[in-house]
């Protein structure tokens, strides 16, 4: 059993042990939520900052993880189960946070698209995008309108609006063996890292991204990591398609109040031993997108050179864990 707990101090373990005595009350609250109101007492979260990598003095290198109450997680699961299976909303190009879709399947689809194009003697390139603070930038009004479009309407939409709005958070931190916390502040935008519904809401938010350029690229998404594979046998059309994709992405991201992390967004042209790299400069909002010779996709390092029609894939290994 997990010992995680939110601001009310009631751990998941205590809640599970209490189920025989409180299940009828929880059921009653779940039924009342059909009126479109999420309990206000469950809208408070505590934020712990999780260090990712890089400079520890740079706040952007930390991910805010929300610690919610155990009761909130129960009601979130109810909403999740009813929303996730509604009309098979999520597009096939999205592989992130979905049951039965593994990272291996993402890698297979990516590699298969590249190899198929190379086998047809086509030019192949990939635009590998990384969204900056994606969860934190989700606009709730846009999200709710998209849910309405997908058929999550009426009381269901009202309930999700109630869940998203009027939320409060405070930040917890440790320093010199002492614990500190901020004042409670309102949450004005974004979905919660660490929540059950946060990942689903984000997937719905970017769900229509693959549809903006279906004819000139093969998009593959793993949550916010977006790979656009572009193929064409003609040199000039190939360059035109790449620039067209960047323009379309730029327009879509701006309309959704999202931005690219240019330090982690790259272009890579895939080659065989008999092909040559083209001279191509790609920019995004007057900033150059780096052209690289290999990239790491979900633990796999994919190299620029393909010998025959066999792409060089190497399992990413942290050399510090191995002793020669």
Q: How many residues does the chain have?
A: 324
Residue 116 CB-half CA count within 13 A: 10
Assess contact for 65 and 50: CB atoms under 8 A: yes
Assess contact for 70 and 15: CB atoms under 8 A: yes
Assess contact for 307 and 272: CB atoms under 8 A: yes
Q: Give the bridge partners for 283, in sequence order.
A: 288
Place of tokens 């025959």: 308
pTM, to two decimals: 0.83
Question: Given this model, what pLDDT does residue 2 score?
Answer: 52
Share of the chain above pLDDT 90, in %: 13
**DSSP assigned state of 88:** T
pLDDT mean over 280-288? 79
3-class secondary structure per residue, 178-231: EEEECCCEECCCCCCCCCHHHHHHHHHHCCCHHHHCCCCCEEEEECCEEEEEEE
176 band by pLDDT with thresholds 50, 70 and 90: confident
Question: Given this model, what pLDDT does residue 312 score?
Answer: 42
202 vs 107: which has the higher pLDDT: 202
Mean pLDDT lowest among 19-28, 42-51, 98-107 = 98-107
Question: Please, what is the average pLDDT of the chain?
Answer: 81
Assess contact for 306 and 312: CB atoms under 8 A: yes
Query: Is the pLDDT reported for residue 322 higher than 50?
Result: no
Pairwise CA distance, residues 22 & 116, whole Å: 57
Query: Is the pLDDT reported for residue 133 higher than 90?
Result: no
Pairwise CA distance, residues 149 & 142, whole Å: 11
> β-strand 225-232 against 287-291: which pairing, if any?
unpaired
**DSSP assigned state of 73:** H
> 137: helix, coil or strand?
helix
Q: Give the bridge partners for 126, in sequence order.
A: 229, 268
**DSSP assigned state of 131:** B
Pairwise CA distance, residues 85 & 82, whole Å: 6
């Amino acid at each position: 059993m997990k010992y995680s707990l939110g601001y009310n101090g009631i751990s998941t373990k205590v809640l599970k042990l209490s189920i025989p005595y409180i299940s009828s009350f929880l059921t009653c609250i779940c039924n009342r939520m059909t009126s479109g109101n999420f309990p206000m007492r469950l809208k408070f979260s505590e934020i712990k900052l999780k260090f990712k990598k890089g400079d520890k003095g740079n706040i952007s290198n930390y991910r805010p993880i929300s610690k919610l109450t155990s009761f909130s997680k129960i009601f979130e699961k109810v909403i999740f189960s009813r929303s996730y299976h509604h009309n098979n909303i999520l597009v096939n190009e999205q592989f992130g946070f979905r049951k039965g879709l593994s990272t291996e399947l993402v890698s297979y689809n990516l590699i298969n698209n590249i190899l198929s194009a190379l086998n047809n003697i086509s030019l192949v390139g990939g635009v590998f995008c990384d969204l900056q603070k994606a969860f934190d930038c989700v606009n709730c009004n846009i999200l709710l309108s998209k849910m309405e479009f997908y058929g999550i309407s009426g009381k269901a939409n009202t309930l999700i609006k109630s869940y998203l709005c009027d939320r409060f958070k405070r930040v917890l931190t440790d320093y010199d063996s002492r614990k500190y916390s901020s004042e409670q502040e309102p949450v004005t935008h974004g979905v919660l890292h660490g929540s059950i519904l946060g990942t689903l809401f984000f997937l719905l938010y970017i769900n229509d991204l693959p549809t903006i350029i279906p004819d000139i690229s093969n998009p593959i998404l793993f949550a916010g990591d977006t790979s656009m594979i572009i193929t064409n046998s003609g040199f000039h059309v190939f360059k035109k398609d790449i620039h067209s994709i960047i323009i379309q992405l730029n327009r879509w991201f701006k309309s959704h109040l999202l931005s690219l992390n240019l330090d982690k967004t790259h272009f890579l042209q895939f080659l065989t031993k008999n092909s040559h790299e083209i001279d191509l400069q790609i920019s995004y909002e007057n900033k150059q997108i780096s052209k690289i010779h290999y990239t790491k996709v979900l633990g796999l390092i994919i190299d620029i050179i393909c010998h025959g029609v066999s792409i060089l894939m190497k399992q990413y290994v942290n050399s510090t864990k191995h002793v020669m």
